[in-house]
Amino acid sequence: MSAPAPAAPSTATTAPATRVLEFTDVARQFPDGTVALEGVHLTIDRGEFVTVVGPSGCGKSTLLRIASGLDAASAGTARVDAQRIGYVFQDATLLPWRSVKKNVELLAELHGMSKTATNQAALDAIELVGLRGHEKKLPRALSGGMKMRASLARSLTLDPDLFLFDEPFGALDEITRERLNDELIRLFVTKGFGALFITHSVSEAVYMSTRVLVMSGRPGHIVESFQVPFGPDRTPELRFTPEFAKLAGEVSHALREGHS
């Protein structure tokens, strides 16, 4: 069993951090009076992988929707300084009649990229997510993991500064999920985007992130923040180390405390 990598910043860089997201005192109250979020402070820089865990219904998806611009804060300031935003949901949302390649090209097309640039971006993204050789397949011929790879590739064509993930691997079996965790870490290290990742799995949160945030029950706000001390070269064995177990235990504890 290999020891965890020494404590290090996730992406070793000496350049000043580029802030891609800054929430100050954000609240969201819906018209029916439901207060989903209250007093949320959150910053994400490029090169940071920030995961939010919290009890069901605490406002995690609402937080992500505000970050994506699909929803707006009802109080406070939600600032996103990203030219391009990637968005991956639990459902891969592929168009069933388009091939893998055509699905991956979709966002680039919608963003008005030229045919040549779209083609190249799609081929690069397909290569990055390991779908080479499957370009012509229709979504129905793909496994759940392959669909998620195609969904990831579709956003990668935009080379996002900020990537938003709403439980992207929640519906996958454990082996596929862990494999995709590793692939996403590799993409993150290669591309250096900022990430906001939502999951119900504490283990996934600790394994993937540079920082884990724990939300309280509704109205959701951040009750605890954990800097993750493991470097970018994480391998599955990390999950079996005492350091990992200790941190995961602390996050679980904070989750239970925030819940009560």
Question: Minimum distance between the CB of residue 74 and ligand ATP, rounded to whole angstroms?
Answer: 12
| Under rule CB under 6 A, residue 4 binds ligand ATP | no
- Token pair in block for residue 160: 């996002």
Question: Minimum distance between the CB of residue 168 and ligand ATP, rounded to whole angstroms?
Answer: 13
| Under rule CB under 6 A, residue 51 binds ligand ATP | no
Q: Give the burial class of 102: count Cβ atoms within 10 A of its Cβ; 0-12 exposed, 13-18 middle, 19 or more buried.
A: middle
**Which is closer to ligand ATP, CB of 11 or CB of 61?**
61
**Which is closer to ligand ATP, CB of 153 or CB of 213?**
213
Which span sits near ligand ATP by CB under 6 A: 52-60, 129-137, 138-146, 184-192?
Answer: 52-60
The residue behind tokens 């290090």 is 8
Taking CB under 6 A as the criterion, the residue among 10, 11, 51, 62 binding ligand ATP is 62
| Under rule CB under 6 A, residue 126 binds ligand ATP | no
| Under rule CB under 6 A, residue 57 binds ligand ATP | yes
Q: Give the burial class of 189: count Cβ atoms within 10 A of its Cβ; 0-12 exposed, 13-18 middle, 19 or more buried.
A: middle
The dihedral built from the CA positions of residue 37, 84, 168 and 3, taken in this order, carries a sign that is: negative
Size of the site for ligand ATP (CB under 6 A): 13
d(CA 228, CA 206): 7
d(CA 174, CA 178): 6
Q: Beta 194-198 vs 211-215: how paired, if at all?
A: unpaired
| Under rule CB under 6 A, residue 70 binds ligand ATP | no
CB-based contacts of 48, cutoff 8 Å, min separation 6 = 10, 17, 194, 195, 210, 211
Cβ contact 230:211 at 8 Å: no
Q: What's the Cα-to-Cα distance from 8 to each of 3, 23, 65, rounded to whole Å?
A: 14, 26, 31
Taking CB under 6 A as the criterion, the residue among 34, 83, 143, 227 binding ligand ATP is 34
**Which is closer to ligand ATP, CB of 64 or CB of 128?**
64
**Which is closer to ligand ATP, CB of 10 or CB of 61?**
61
| Under rule CB under 6 A, residue 13 binds ligand ATP | no
d(CA 260, CA 106): 44
**Which is closer to ligand ATP, CB of 54 or CB of 194?**
54
| Under rule CB under 6 A, residue 210 binds ligand ATP | no
Taking CB under 6 A as the criterion, the residue among 4, 27, 48, 60 binding ligand ATP is 60
Question: Minimum distance between the CB of residue 214 and ligand ATP, rounded to whole angstroms?
Answer: 12
Can you give the binding site for ligand ATP, defined by CB under 6 A? 30, 32, 34, 36, 54, 56-62, 218
